[in-house]
A and B are shown apart, each in its own frame.
Chain A
Amino acid sequence: MGTHVQGPPNLRLVHSSTRLRVISGNIIMKKKNFSVLFTFMRGNRAQYLLSIFAIAISTIISLLNPLVIRYLIDSVIGGEPFEGPAWLISLLEKLGGTSWMLQHIMLGASSLILLTAVSGLFHFLKGKWSAEAAETTAKNIRNRFFAHLQRLPFDYHVKARTGDLIQRATSDIETIRKFLATQFVEIGRTLFMVIMAATIMIRLNVKMGLFSMAVIPFIFTFAYLFFLKVQKTFRASDEAEGRLSTVLQENLTGIRVVKAFGRHRFEIDRFDERNQEFRVLTTRLIRLLAWYWSLSDFMSLMQIGAVLILGGYWAATGVFSMGTMVVFFTYVGRLLWPVRQLGRILTEMGKTFVSLERIQEILNEPEEKDLFSGLHPEITGRIEFDHVSFRYEEGPDILKDVSFTVEAGETIAFLGPTGSGKTSLVHLLPRLYEPTSGEIRIDGIPLGTIEKQWLREKVGIILQEPFLFQKTLKENIALARDGVIEEQIFTAAETAAVHDVILSFERGYDTLIGEGGVTLSGGQKQRVAMARTLMKESPILIFDDSLSAVDTETDAQIRKSLKDRGNKATTFIIAHRTSTLAEADKIIILENGRIVQMGTHEELSRQDGLYRRIWQIQNELETELEEELNPQLQA
């Protein structure tokens, strides 16, 4: 709530802490920014106009109050003839003229209450309408930003800087909202106020009117320049605060190290340094603000005093009436505060435009193609890779001329050193990336013609580092499919060997994951993610090294229950556990993006190569154990 000086013109110019809460920002005002802002306001522009209209009416009516007081003082009480619009004079005459008014002075005074109430009503409407408009705009920006983020390509999110995106989504949108909800209308109000008050004052007395507003341009310029100038100090204080919280954050996350080394003293000194620095810099900032407020108060008070003295002189010498002087006096007091605020708002507006730009920057990133357009074929699960090559935007080829065919229902395993292209290969199937050349076909249909959403429904992939949402375990597992029943969730969890783990939690399936809930181990997370993907019952299933954190025994158990379940899906498995590999219908060995070996367990174990080397480890182990346990043999 801003503190409005709606009240009287006086030496008092609001001394409240509210005036000190100022935020820094840069001034970058470009035409482009305004047009962006207007785009966001689409759909609510009428409401914005309406609220500006309301504030105009409210301002006009509130400026009538001093005129009523002038009439009551000069004409009713003072008995001077009333100068005003003819219709008003005749209306008052009909009521019974000045003498009647004098008898019913309370009635005249009550009109002040009425005027204030009506002005207040419009003020309220302005508040309501501008809030509705601004909040709707904010809602639209938020929704659009969120939807856009989700539709950005997979690769964008691989590289994204999460913290920066979150900041744009929260504080930048908030800055825009604030501007629209309060400052935008406030600028309109101030302009109206100045124009209206100037008109009335000049009509009452040209000289006195001009004189009363003499300080306004100065005070406005002063405010604007001041806040422009002190940006650096604002920033210094902000940065010191940043450093303070970094030291604090580091101390808290490293508190175990601090304790283990007994470095309390050192840490306290280090923190104290930052704490002191922040204190000094902010105190310096507040001192600057003290200069601003005392100087601008002084200027305002001078203007008010000048009006009082010159107005008093002219009223005494009969240039105008006492009531007129009171009107000037009141107007001046009312004008000064918003003008000073305006200087500040304008300097802060730069911040809004910076935020707008930051939002726009993300919205301009192209979204994924074919997300909602393309074929919707029935899919049984026969997959062909036809001379597929792939590379990330800029970089060497990751996959080189890869060709193979998988029949529906088959299990195919991939083995290869880090960076051989296994993960990239399976990422091509749900079209998380597109091949650079060659073609992938599902049941004979080129992958590129199928709608991505449809395709991803049919291709269940469990990522290496799965993300669980901050929901209950039940909700997390049910996420992939609508309208599931509990039984299905339990079955999926059982297959993924996580059912018993979940039941061991105090709240079972209703356990919340993440902040405020339980923290799952890496293996548990992978298993929950697996259960979640199983829920889709998709004809194609991909395990991207998705059981790496699960121990060997549980891994075996999972594979067994998958088999028992009668898994008909075409399954792609990236793994390096020999037992997993051996069970596959076909094993593909990738090296440097090329298929170097392909065949069944029997075939590959007979060939020299990576696969056989892996199997040989078993022999190495046995030899080593032999040596360790029967040292005599060595001799």
Chain B
Amino acid sequence: MSVLEEKEYSKNFDLSTWKELLPFVKPFKRQIIFMMVLMFIVAAIDAVSPFLTGWVIDNVIVPGETGKLPYFGIFYGILIIIQALVIWLFIDIAGKIDMGICYEIRKGAFHRIQELSFSYFDKTPTGWLMARLTSDTQKLGDVVAWGIVDLTWGITMMTTMAILMAFTHLKLTLIILSVIPVLFVIAVYFQRKILKRFREVRKVNSKITASFSEGIRGAKTTKTLVREQANDMEFHKLTGSMRRSSVRAAVLSALFLPMVLTLGSIGTALAIGMGGNGVVAGTISFGVLVSFIFCSLQFFDPIMELSRVFADLQYAQASAERVISLIQTEPGIKDPEEIEESYGTFLHPKRENWPAIKGSITFENVSFAYDKGQAVLSNFNLEVSAGETIALVGETGSGKSTIVNLACRFYEPTEGKILIDGVDYRKRSLQWLHSHLGYVLQNPHLFSGTIMDNIRYGRLNATDEEVKEAARLVNAHEFITALSEGYQTDVGEEGAKLSTGEKQLVSFARAILANPMIFVLDEATSSVDTETEFLIQQAINKVLEGRTSFIIAHRLSTIRSADRILVVRNGKIEEGGTHHELLKNRGYYYRLYTNQFMEERESRLLSV
């Protein structure tokens, strides 16, 4: 996936990328136009100001007439009140546009993320997605809103001033402005170079961060391997190159301003030299001379701002590309239109049209491979009748989880089909199936909020009493009520304030509250302590009754209670039957069982 690369920079400015962003900017069309009008005013007042000085010189100082000063004062006062007002307005509105665009893009991207299928998240790191919705989005809002501010202001001010100058004295204007194009080209060139250098700095910087993180997390290992000095040396190399690239970047940007100012002073010198001759010859007034001097000085700000905006835009291009690539990713699994019509969409399901579910599942010649990789399953067949409990055992990578994920339609078969209640599940909507699904994972994931909120996640309209009922059913009630705030206990970020076992019980209650017809326990007991395992085991026996369930497990107690045990090896069912039958076979299951028996007993003996 080329989009995954953190390429920070696109060589060519590409308008079509920015066009894709238009839908997010459109809601602010009127505000943007208003803001541009405001910037016209600001720029115009800025452009006029050197001529105000000129006016004072020609009409007050040179003739020695102070009578006009009060009128000038009033005019000036009005002007700056307008200016202050307009400045307030444009900052406020630009802020609104900036935050608004961020909001819209974030919303759109988040929406899309919710629709993407499991396979997308398999290959996309969380950090990558986070960055898209935070820093990239922020960058885009920034560059659009403030970019428009700076562009409008810069261009308007330069144009207005050039016109005013030209009307005052065309020849002198042309002479002074001859420096501008050169200046502009140099400025853009420099800004680009500077940005590039700073990107290098950021790259080294992220290496330093990684190094710190490793140094801290690996400190214990470092001690045992006596790597302190060696690590120091490696780290010094990094900080050394950080220093070098930072200084290089800083030197370049330190060069920028003096260069522009020096080049700019040529314009001022021209104004004084040429203009001064004109004053002596009587063709130019003092006021005009002074206002031209100020004009020549004032031309730099817009040039610097404009060159910065151009460089920024180019930099933001990469952000735009990444965000757009995310928003435009099509979900791998999606309901076709005719299904959406009768079953409704994610956001507006038509539950009234949904058929009831019994829960029989059939794999018919199913083959499956993750993303063009090696086939995990080929020509796989399996029939599970409604209400049956199936335990899947086998090594990591044998295909157990794949079978379950296919049954849940988190992935779809590459070939063959899966029937639920005798109907290909692709003929029904995703949400129809998922709303009948109970799912408990090895690493239970909770959301911040109270325990009550977390269990209720299983069925949003459940009453408090129903939530407690579910908790009782899975033996979670006891530990919850023992907490000082009971069901209102805050679980912390990702449930960090609870132990793994407690989290597992909560996630179990959450799943059961949904009253699912199909239940999946994916290694649900493997990372909990023996006590919790016992509680969960009890609960499993209670709640799986009458539901079709898949249990992936290696704890014997969990496996043994299943109606049918399937031993999966290399994507095939090697053995299948009840615990008793399989032991009799003295095959793979027999070995697995004896090993596991020893381990469990040993660890029980040792975990006093």
B98 touches A170 (CB 8 A): no
Complex CA–CA separation, A432 to B239 (angstroms):
29
Complex CA–CA separation, A327 to B357 (angstroms):
87
B80 touches A142 (CB 8 A): no
Complex CA–CA separation, A278 to B460 (angstroms):
25
Q: Which residues of B contact A4 (CB under 8 A)?
A: 257
Q: Which residues of B contact A261 (CB under 8 A)?
A: 434-435, 437, 439, 457-458, 510, 514
Q: Interface size for chain B: under 10, 10 to 19, 20 to 34, or 35 or more residues?
A: 35 or more
A158 at the interface (CB under 8 A from B): yes
A291 touches B88 (CB 8 A): yes
B265 touches A432 (CB 8 A): no
B215 touches A150 (CB 8 A): yes
Contact of B56 among A254, A262, A312 (CB under 8 A): A312
Binds B, one of A82-90, A124-132, A438-446: A124-132
B396 at the interface (CB under 8 A from A): yes
Binds B, one of A227-235, A267-275, A492-500: A267-275
Contact of B258 among A120, A272, A317, A552 (CB under 8 A): A120
Q: Interface size for chain A: under 10, 10 to 19, 20 to 34, or 35 or more residues?
A: 35 or more
A325 at the interface (CB under 8 A from B): yes
Binds A, one of B228-236, B382-390, B466-474, B540-548: B228-236
Complex CA–CA separation, A470 to B231 (angstroms):
13
Which positions 533-592 of chain A face chain B at CB distance < 8 Å? 533, 536, 551-552, 576-578
Complex CA–CA separation, A279 to B28 (angstroms):
14
Q: Which residues of B contact A275 (CB under 8 A)?
A: 103, 106-107, 110
As a 0/1 sequence over residues 240 to 276 of chain B, the CB contacts with chain A under 8 angstroms (1 = contact) are 1011001100110111111101101110111111101
Q: Which residues of A contact B99 (CB under 8 A)?
A: 278-279, 282-283, 286
Q: How many A-B residue pairs have CB under 8 A?
A: 489
Q: Which residues of B contact A150 (CB under 8 A)?
A: 215, 219, 222-223, 228, 231-232
Complex CA–CA separation, A15 to B61 (angstroms):
31
B223 touches A456 (CB 8 A): yes
Given contacts A1-B256, A625-B594, contact A14 B583 (CB under 8 A): no
B462 at the interface (CB under 8 A from A): no
B214 touches A11 (CB 8 A): no
A308 touches B216 (CB 8 A): no
Which positions 53-101 of chain B face chain A at CB distance < 8 Å? 53, 56-57, 60-66, 69, 72-73, 76-77, 79-81, 83-85, 87-92, 94-96, 98-100
A109 at the interface (CB under 8 A from B): yes
Complex CA–CA separation, A5 to B114 (angstroms):
48
Which positions 1-54 of chain A face chain B at CB distance < 8 Å? 1, 3-12, 14-17, 20
Contact of A72 among B145, B276, B297 (CB under 8 A): B276
Contact of B251 among A128, A276, A482 (CB under 8 A): A128
Q: Which residues of A contact B228 (CB under 8 A)?
A: 147, 150-151, 371, 453
A210 at the interface (CB under 8 A from B): no
A294 touches B603 (CB 8 A): no
Q: Which residues of B contact A297 (CB under 8 A)?
A: 83-84, 87
Max chain B Cβ within 10 angstroms of own Cβ: one of A154, A260, A624: A260
Q: Which residues of A contact B352 (CB under 8 A)?
A: none
Given contacts A262-B431, A267-B114, contact A121 B258 (CB under 8 A): yes
Q: Which residues of B contact A394 (CB under 8 A)?
A: none
B514 touches A256 (CB 8 A): no
Q: Which residues of A contact B107 (CB under 8 A)?
A: 271-272, 275
Which positions 225-278 of chain A face chain B at CB distance < 8 Å? 241, 244-246, 248-268, 271-272, 275-276, 278
B597 at the interface (CB under 8 A from A): yes
B268 touches A112 (CB 8 A): yes
B61 touches A135 (CB 8 A): no
B347 touches A256 (CB 8 A): no
Q: Which residues of A contact B218 (CB under 8 A)?
A: 467, 469
A316 touches B64 (CB 8 A): yes
Q: Min CB distance, B61 to chain A, in Å?
A: 4
Complex CA–CA separation, A318 to B62 (angstroms):
10
Residue ID in chain B nearest A315 by CB atoms: B61
A170 touches B118 (CB 8 A): no
As a 0/1 sequence over residues 107 to 150 of chain B, the CB contacts with chain A under 8 angstroms (1 = contact) are 10011011101100100011001100110000000100111011
Complex CA–CA separation, A305 to B80 (angstroms):
9
Q: Min CB distance, B429 to chain A, in Å?
A: 10
As a 0/1 sequence over residues 65 to 95 of chain A, the CB contacts with chain B under 8 angstroms (1 = contact) are 1000100110011100000000000000000
B92 touches A290 (CB 8 A): yes
Binds A, one of B8-16, B299-307, B321-329: B299-307
Q: Min CB distance, B114 to chain A, in Å?
A: 4
B95 touches A117 (CB 8 A): no
A113 touches B269 (CB 8 A): yes
A597 at the interface (CB under 8 A from B): no
A326 at the interface (CB under 8 A from B): yes
Max chain B Cβ within 10 angstroms of own Cβ: one of A3, A467, A479: A467
As a 0/1 sequence over residues 318 to 341 of chain A, the CB contacts with chain B under 8 angstroms (1 = contact) are 100010011001000000000000
B217 at the interface (CB under 8 A from A): yes
Binds A, one of B415-423, B440-448, B569-577: B440-448
B280 touches A131 (CB 8 A): no
Q: Min CB distance, A240 to chain B, in Å?
A: 11
B408 at the interface (CB under 8 A from A): yes
A112 touches B439 (CB 8 A): no
Complex CA–CA separation, A405 to B63 (angstroms):
110
A456 touches B213 (CB 8 A): no
Q: Min CB distance, B517 to chain A, in Å?
A: 14
Which positions 479-514 of chain A face chain B at CB distance < 8 Å? 479-480, 482
Q: Which residues of A contact B435 (CB under 8 A)?
A: 261-262
Binds B, one of A201-209, A376-384, A615-623: A615-623
Residue ID in chain A nearest B235 by CB atoms: A146
Complex CA–CA separation, A77 to B271 (angstroms):
13
Q: Min CB distance, A584 to chain B, in Å?
A: 16
Binds A, one of B19-27, B44-52, B478-486: B44-52
A418 touches B608 (CB 8 A): yes
B279 at the interface (CB under 8 A from A): yes
Q: Which residues of A contact B211 (CB under 8 A)?
A: 146
A463 at the interface (CB under 8 A from B): yes
A363 at the interface (CB under 8 A from B): no
Q: Min CB distance, A508 to chain B, in Å?
A: 18
Contact of A17 among B73, B149, B269 (CB under 8 A): B149
B606 at the interface (CB under 8 A from A): yes
A120 touches B262 (CB 8 A): yes
Residue ID in chain B nearest A156 by CB atoms: B219
Binds B, one of A160-168, A191-199, A215-223, A348-356: A160-168
Complex CA–CA separation, A263 to B118 (angstroms):
15
B102 at the interface (CB under 8 A from A): yes
Contact of A14 among B62, B106, B231, B301 (CB under 8 A): B301
Given contacts A301-B84, A617-B598, contact A131 B445 (CB under 8 A): no
Q: Which residues of B contact A343 (CB under 8 A)?
A: none
Q: Min CB distance, A314 to chain B, in Å?
A: 9
A77 touches B410 (CB 8 A): no
B232 touches A142 (CB 8 A): no
Q: Which residues of B contact A169 (CB under 8 A)?
A: 209, 212, 216
Given contacts A293-B91, A470-B210, contact A152 B219 (CB under 8 A): yes
A416 at the interface (CB under 8 A from B): yes
B457 touches A298 (CB 8 A): no
Q: Which residues of B contact A109 (CB under 8 A)?
A: 268-273, 276
B298 at the interface (CB under 8 A from A): yes
Binds A, one of B163-171, B287-295, B359-367, B531-539: B287-295
B499 at the interface (CB under 8 A from A): no
List 5 additional contacts besides A1-B257, A112-B272; criterion CB under 8 Å. Answer: A119-B261, A256-B439, A260-B434, A278-B99, A617-B601
15 A-B residue pairs with CB within 8 Å: A4-B257, A17-B146, A72-B276, A135-B246, A146-B212, A154-B223, A157-B220, A256-B445, A260-B437, A285-B95, A301-B83, A309-B73, A453-B228, A576-B602, A617-B605
The 10 tightest CB contacts between A and B, nearest first, are A127-B254, A120-B258, A286-B95, A17-B146, A131-B250, A290-B91, A294-B88, A260-B439, A12-B46, A298-B84
